[in-house]
Chain A
Amino acid sequence: METPTSHLEQKEELTMSVIRFAGDSGDGMQLAGDLFTSTAAMMGENVATLPDYPAEIRAPQGTVAGVSGFQICFGSDEIYTPGDFLDVLVAMNPPALKVNLSIVKKGGVILVNEDSFSAKNLEKAGMPSNPLLDQSLKDYDVYKIPIQTITKNALAGLISLSPKQVDQCKNLTALGLTYRLFNRKKEYTLKWLERKFKSKPEILQANKIAFEAGWEYGEHGVFKKTYTQVKQQSIQAGTYRQITGNIAAALGLVAASRASRVPLFLGSYPITPATDILQELSRYKECVTVFQAEDEIAAIGAALGASYGGSLAATTTSGPGFSLKSEFINLAVISELPMVIVNVQRVGPSTGLPTKTEQADLFQALWGRHGESPVVVMAAQSPKDCFYTLYEASRVALRYMTPVIVLSDGLIGNGSEVWKIPAENELPEIKVSYRTQTEGFLPYDRDHETLARPWAIPGTPGLEHRIGGLEKEDRSGKVSHAPLNHEKMVKLRAEKVARVASEIKPLEVFGDPKAKLLVLGWGSTYGVIRQAVQKLLKAGYQVACLHLRYLNPLPNDLKETLEKFPKVLVPENNMGQLWYKLRAEYLIDIEKLNKVQGQPFCVDEVEHKVKEMLANPGVKYANK
């Protein structure tokens, strides 16, 4: 794949840029990236971010394994992904340069911390020659800056700080340099620092000084050119914030609790990359009950107990924890209690690559339980969409008395974008009624429309009844071993989930309605697919794309929609799980594109595959 040429040299005013902060884990790169993102968002720009960090908290210093990165795509363009290639790389040490050099655009800017390029450090990174001295960086615009020295000199007056504390401020120096390079406003970062270090005036002062020192260094003609971003014109008026998928998921649950007037209970256990949802909800103690359980099983067990008692119950986890919860999901299925299970997917099997992203738990969500055990499965497509997906999942769980699985992943869970905060009345209604009427009460009687059984919670006089994991007789809910009753209950539970399809809005295809090829996706591939299709449309290709939120049940109009297009491509960060399901359901010859490297697709990769498919007439559907 050819690395594209940077546009940085040609113009000062840009519509979109990609920057990556990279250094040792512990160098504060995630914080620098976060602050850069906030400022871009506060300046009215679109953003998409990709934190890319190792699984170890502090991998051996200065090694390739320890490189932590934070990538931001920002600007006035519509932005759907954190970008495939970098306009600017900030490399705090040799391995950070080594690991990321291949994704820097030719002619792109590289800011290196010159101080760290000692012979010893180069050796640790496995770099036989110094790239700052040899010819290996000749294709780039390289700025060798002694970032640690600048920090040290600037903080020389703060004698109470240890040398380590001084050195820890170097990320703010680097940040100051990038703010100068991109003509960012300093005020948001300064305000943030004041808030963050309110109780530590020394540290606050040190960070502010380091930040200003970085900016100052850039003032003196260091940069051949600096950049500004085109102002956004088309954005709607409203209240905005920057949000990660995990925080959006937390808020989606809270909003559903508000809308349904049902108290929210979260049972969870820390696991990467889902922990942020647990941590975020733990902060809302005035209106959310959070329980950090002894293990993944207890987390969902407590959630089911809360649901039994009349709460909106949720549990959040990632792959390994999701596996442990299977038996309890089944108990929720047979006891027909509402619950939301969030799986922020990561690379598996087993511990896999905890901090890397994958979409390979779809099969498990659909089918990973013993017995005939259908559940509703949804997927979020972007950080902000985690809010709407969790809200919708809660609504459906409560309305149909069923567990709902929501698939997110590390990419959108940790990634962030700008979100226009909805007003309460813009969200769909969630109506919940507990059963209180004793007359004619049967615990497994059903609502005619949804087939939901009544939510008769303990404490309600006259409705005392027993539920459990043993098969129940239709309507009465007595334990029943009758063969025909079991078959009837299996079908009823399946039909209940199938009826959820009536909640799904008609599918909306983006792009050319007469397209020769439809790109179909689910989950975090949304941004890449959308960007690829937009590029292809601009280049005159007849293409379209469609993204699914509901994976079970599938939308009623999906089959007819797919059949409108001569070719369908499903890109997935797995070996072809949605592809498999669609072929099995519809007998349609769909093609797949798969990437399982712990990294999202590049726009290029999707684009390339689409072009290849369009160039090759291939075999069309039998019925076309």
Chain B
Amino acid sequence: MPINKPPTNKPIDQANTKLTRKDFLSNVDPRWCLGCGCYSIFGSLTRVFPELGIPKEKFAIISGIGCSSRLPYYSSAYGFHTIHGRAATVAFGLKRMRPDLSVWVMTGDGDALSIGGNHFIHLMRRNADIKVILFNNQIYGLTKGQTSPTSALGVKTKTTPYGSIDSPLNPLALAIAAGATFAARVTDADPELLYEAILGAAKHHGVAFVEVMLNCVIFNDGAFDSIIDKNLKADTTIRLKHGEPLAFGKERNKGIHIGLSGPEIVDGGDKTRAIATHDVHLPDASRAYALALMSLPNTPVPVGIFRQVQKTVYAEGIESKVPSQSELERLLKGQSAWVREQNGSLRSLESD
């Protein structure tokens, strides 16, 4: 075995060699169901990774439990398939001690929001430089079709055969409220936007959250049809672009005005209530939060990057070190040690 060398704590190095998507595929074939949205996310992720200029060995993908969390096995990066709901904690400890790594969390709606809800909000608020992709299919897939914390009210699943009576959680709004400095929401049916969001997350300095609404073909097929259908989506979604108006509709003649009581739908010609311009850098999170809450049937669903702000990144610049001999000696002595000489006399080493 080679000689012990402590892990490097230097910031992420730039790779010299050009990597390709194939460099991030393992020899294990993905075992997601045919038509599963997971493929789409995996595709975008492995498209983004080689473009970041980061050496392959610096990527670490941490996952919890669920369909989403099988992803590490399919990539050839370092990967840790942990336990249900806890990926955020493992990723946090890893990143804390190894700021040189690019750490990614793969999680699902049950994993991150139900069993892992506590870790999720704390990961967001601490703003460590960790990227979180939430695979939101609004159902428990790997346990074969039970209601999840994002399942719609009234939805029939194996555990809600008479319809769910649980109000769903809005993952993006939760992330923003908890302090996410980068927050995006996309669908699996729009690979370009998905790619854009993941690339944005990767390049963001701080915690980055991307909610991907993806279709579970087996247990919740069609849950997002109203926002991915080619004929409907111009009216049911707003594609967010920084610096551009919050407009929608085939002619982009409708839009969102942010009034005192929140977002309102207005016509493009409305002289008194202007269509708002999207700004991802607003220091105050309330606009992004309001946008995150917009939902059908009252308003279209915004997709894209909602928020991207710079805040102090957790523990940045604080290096983890091994104690030196003198440090150890000082700590062992504490504040009030004494020396007993051979002749039995005592001498205080009390420090101030």
Interface residues of A (CB under 8 A from B): 38, 41-44, 188, 191-192, 195, 231-233, 235-243, 247, 251, 254-255, 257-258, 260-265, 267, 284-289, 291, 293-295, 297-311, 313, 327-328, 331, 335, 421-422, 424, 431-437, 454, 457-470, 478-479
Find the B residue at minimum CB distance from A465. B78
- Which of the residues B96, B339, B341 comes within 8 Å of A291, measured between beta carbons? B96
CB contact between B338 and one of A241, A297, A299, A327 (< 8 Å): that residue: A241
Q: Does B283 contact A (CB under 8 A)?
A: no
- Determine whether the beta carbon of A436 is less than 8 Å from that of B80: no
A460 adjacent to B6 (CB under 8 Å): no
B26 touches A468 (CB 8 A): no
Q: How far is the CA of A440 from the CA of B119 in the complex (A)?
A: 38
Pairwise interchain contact B321-A287, C-beta atoms closer than 8 A: yes
Known contacts A260-B4, A293-B122, then 12 further A-B pairs from the complex at CB < 8 Å, ordered by chain A residue: A42-B336, A231-B344, A247-B334, A258-B327, A262-B4, A264-B322, A286-B327, A301-B82, A309-B98, A458-B60, A462-B57, A465-B78
| B350 pairs with A191, CB closer than 8 A | yes
Instruction: Please count the residue pairs between chain A and chain B whose beta carbons lie under 8 angstroms apart in the complex.
Output: 259
Contact A434 B4 (CB under 8 A): yes
Contacts of A459 in B (CB 8 A): 7-8, 57-58, 78, 98, 100-101
What's the Cα separation between A241 and B350 when bound, in Å? 10
A298 touches B94 (CB 8 A): no
Smallest beta-carbon distance A315→chain B, Å: 10
Give the residues in chain A near B33, CB-CB below 8 Å.
none
Q: Are A305 and B91 in contact (CB under 8 A)?
A: yes
Are A251 and B321 neighbours in the complex by a CB distance under 8 Å?
no
Q: A294-B119, A302-B90, A462-B57 are in contact. Are A42 and B4 (CB under 8 A)?
A: no
Interface segment, one of B69-77, B144-152, B183-191, B287-295: B69-77
B294-352 interface with A by 8 A CB criterion: 318, 320-325, 327-329, 331-342, 344, 346, 348-350, 352
The answer to whether A460 touches B321 (Cβ under 8 A) is: no
Report the bound CA distance from A298 to B120 in whole Å: 11
- Partner of B325 from the list A240, A424, A454 (CB cut-off 8 Å) is A424
Given contacts A44-B340, A327-B83, A467-B79, contact A289 B57 (CB under 8 A): no
Chain B contacts to A: CB under 8 angstroms: 1-8, 26, 28, 55-60, 62-63, 65, 72-73, 76-83, 86, 88-98, 100-101, 118-119, 122, 318, 320-325, 327-329, 331-342, 344, 346, 348-350, 352
Q: Which residues of A lie under 8 Å from residue B336 when comparing CB positions?
A: 38, 42, 188, 192, 241-242
Contacts of A306 in B (CB 8 A): 93-94, 96-97
Q: Measured between alpha carbons, how far is A454 from B83 in the docked complex, in Å?
A: 22
A42-B346, A233-B344, A311-B97 in contact; A331/B83 too (CB < 8 A)? yes
23 pairs, A vs B, C-beta closer than 8 Å: A38-B336, A44-B340, A231-B344, A239-B340, A241-B334, A254-B328, A258-B323, A261-B6, A288-B323, A294-B122, A297-B89, A302-B89, A302-B92, A305-B80, A309-B94, A434-B7, A458-B58, A459-B58, A466-B26, A466-B78, A466-B79, A468-B63, A468-B80
Picked from A42, A255, A261, A284, the residue with its CB within 8 Å of the CB of B348 is A42
Known: A297-B89, A433-B2, A468-B81. A239 touches B339 (CB 8 A): yes
How far apart are the CA atoms of A331 and B344 in the complex, in Å? 52
Taking a contact as CB atoms under 8 Å apart, the answer to whether A257 and B323 are in contact is yes
Task: For A236, give the chain B residue with the smallest CB separation.
Answer: B340
Which single member of B57, B96, B324, B339 contacts A464 (CB below 8 Å)? B57
Bound CA–CA A304/B8 (angstroms): 18
Q: Select from chain B the residue with minimum beta-carbon distance to A250.
A: B331
Residues of A within 8 A of B342 (CB): 237
Instruction: Point out the residues of chain B lying under 8 angstroms from A297, CB to CB.
Output: 86, 89, 119
Q: Quick one: given A293-B89, A308-B94, are A255 and B8 in contact (CB under 8 Å)? A: no
Contacts A235-B340, A265-B96; A298 near B119 (Cβ below 8 A): yes
Contact between chains at B352 and A195 (CB < 8 Å): yes
When the two chains form their complex, are residues A263 and B321 in contact, meaning their CB atoms are under 8 A apart?
yes
User: A424–B3 contact, CB under 8 A?
Assistant: no
Q: Which residues of A contact B62 (CB under 8 A)?
A: 305
Q: Of B7, B90, B101, B340, which one neighbours A304 at CB under 8 angstroms?
A: B90
Interchain nearest-CB distance for B12 vs A (Å): 10
Q: Is the CB of A310 within 8 A of B7?
A: yes
Q: Which residue of A lies closest to B27 (CB)?
A: A478
A433→B79 contact, CB < 8 A: no
User: Lowest 10 A-B CB distances belong to which pairs?
Assistant: A301-B89, A468-B81, A305-B93, A302-B93, A287-B323, A305-B90, A305-B94, A458-B78, A466-B79, A241-B337
Minimum distance in angstroms from B25 CB to a CB of chain A: 12
Distance between Cα atoms of A466 and B78 in the complex (Å): 6
> What is the minimal beta-carbon distance from A191 to any residue of chain B, in angstroms?
6
Question: With A331-B82, A435-B1, A469-B81 in contact, is A308–B323 under 8 Å at CB?
Answer: no
B96–A298 contact, CB under 8 A? no
Residue of B nearest to A299 (CB): B89
CB closest residue in chain B, given A43: B346
Which residue from B60, B90, B322 sits with its C-beta under 8 Å from A262? B322
B86 touches A301 (CB 8 A): yes
Q: Which residue of B lies closest to A289 (CB)?
A: B320
Q: Which residues on B sit within 8 Å (CB–CB) of A466? A: 26, 72-73, 78-81
B328 touches A255 (CB 8 A): yes
Q: Please give the distance in Å from A442's CB to the nearest CB on chain B.
A: 14
* Known interface pairs A258-B325, A309-B97, A464-B78; A301-B90 also in contact (CB < 8 Å): yes
Check B322–A257 contact: CB distance below 8 A.
yes
**Whole-angstrom distance from the CB of A181 to the nearest CB of chain B?**
22
Q: Which residues of B contact A303 (CB under 8 A)?
A: 93
Give the shortest distance, in Å, between B131 (CB) and chain A (any CB).
15
**How distant is A517 from chain B, measured CB to nearest CB, in Å?**
37
Is B82 in contact with A255, judged by CB distance below 8 angstroms?
Answer: no
Q: Are B338 and A239 in contact (CB under 8 A)?
A: yes
Q: Which residue of A lies closest to B89 (CB)?
A: A301
Partner of A436, one of B5, B72, B82: B5
Q: Which residues from B are CB-within-8-Å of A435?
A: 1-2
Q: Which residue of B is nearest A298, CB measured?
A: B89
Smallest CB gap from B63: residue in A: A468
A331 CB to nearest B CB, Å: 5
User: A residues within 8 A CB of B8?
Assistant: 459
Chain B residues, Cβ within 8 Å of A285: 318
Inside 8 A of A294's CB, which chain B residues have their CB?
118-119, 122
Checking A192, A240, A311, A468 against B320 with a beta-carbon cut-off of 8 angstroms, the contacting residue is A311
Select which of B78, B321, B338 is within 8 A of A286 by beta carbon. Answer: B321
Asked if A267 and B93 make an inter-chain contact with CB atoms under 8 angstroms apart, the answer reads yes
Would you call A265 and B93 a contact (CB within 8 A)? yes
Is B337 touching A431 in the complex (CB atoms < 8 A)? no
Chain A residues within an 8 Å CB radius of B73:
466, 468, 479
* Inter-chain contact B352/A240, CB cutoff 8 Å: no
**Smallest CB separation, A250 vs chain B (Å):** 9
Contact A238–B339 (Cβ < 8 Å): yes
Measured in the bound complex, the distance between the Cα atoms of B331 and A247 in whole Å is 10
Q: Chain A residues near B56 (CB, 8 Å)?
A: 461, 464
Q: How far is the CA of A313 from the CA of B7 in the complex (A)?
A: 14
